[in-house]
Amino acid sequence: MWLTLRAMALVLFVSVCVRAQTRTLAVYSDTPQDLDAGSTAIMHGEVQRLLAPAGFDIVWKKTTERKAGEDFEAVVVASFEGSCSTVAAKTIPVAAVSLADTSISDGRILPFFRVDCRRLSQLLGPQADSSVIGRALGRVMAHEIYHIVARTTQHHDTGVAKPAFSSRDLLSARFDFDAWSLARMRPPSVARIDQESSENAGR
């Protein structure tokens, strides 16, 4: 009984700490080529949904809007290569797909990443509608942001932090980070509390 109460208290404490340590993450990017306003909004919403459990509040900025004196806890810069339209996309084998990459210099992860819209469109195939494209883009972006904010090149076996996405991952109604990956993105103090909570809840 005591262990159960302790686990419940830790879970509540983690929830309070995560809310108290919500960080603002500014994402600077231009609108992906051939992506309509509705799909762009879905992309933004998916990134926010995936990163909210790690304690991030996303602020979207145009790359031309960078101003002196702006203060964000974290900043990333995204670029998009090729067209995001699937109208003329030819489906390609999953094994041949590299959808995005994050810049690394001298072993240090930089806050810049690139999404290959052409390959993403080819993976989704011509049957994908605009809402699916926006959601898929959000998942690919969240994966690269994970590398940047967690400062790691490591992947995990499941979820959005795994090394490669299948078309099923991108087309499914729900696809999330697992607990291990979320902990990697949280501030160290919250991550330690979260780990202790998980361990006690399993006893």
Q: How confident is the model at residue 91 (pLDDT cuts 50, 70, 90)?
A: low
Q: Where are the beta strands (DSSP E) in the chain?
A: 23-28, 56-61, 74-81, 100-105, 108-116
pLDDT above 90 coverage of the chain, percent: 57
Q: According to the model, what pLDDT value does residue 200 have?
A: 47
Query: What's the pLDDT at 138?
Result: 97
Domains of the chain in sequence order: 22-185 (3.40.390.10)
pLDDT in tens, 102-111: 999 999 999 9
Q: Indicate the pLDDT class of residue 90, thresholds 50, 70 and 90.
A: low
Two tokens at 48?
A: 């926010």
Q: Which range scores top for mean pLDDT: 2-11, 21-30, 106-115, 163-172?
A: 106-115
Task: Give CA–CA dist 9/4, Å, rounded.
Answer: 9
Residue identified by tokens 């208290």 is 9
Q: What is the DSSP string of 94-111?
A: GGG---EEEEEETTEEEE
* pLDDT(94) > 70: no
Beta carbons of 39 and 86 less than 8 angstroms apart:
no
Task: Give the separation between CA 102 and CA 139, rounded to whole angstroms.
Answer: 14
User: How does residue 69 score in pLDDT terms, banded at 50, 70 and 90?
Assistant: low
With 50 as the cut, is the pLDDT of residue 162 above it? yes
Predicted structure pTM score: 0.80
Range scoring the smallest mean pLDDT among 87-101, 137-151, 177-191: 87-101
CA-based nearest residue to 84, from 133, 20, 123: 133
What span, in angstroms and rounded, lies between the C-alpha atoms of 91 and 128?
Answer: 11
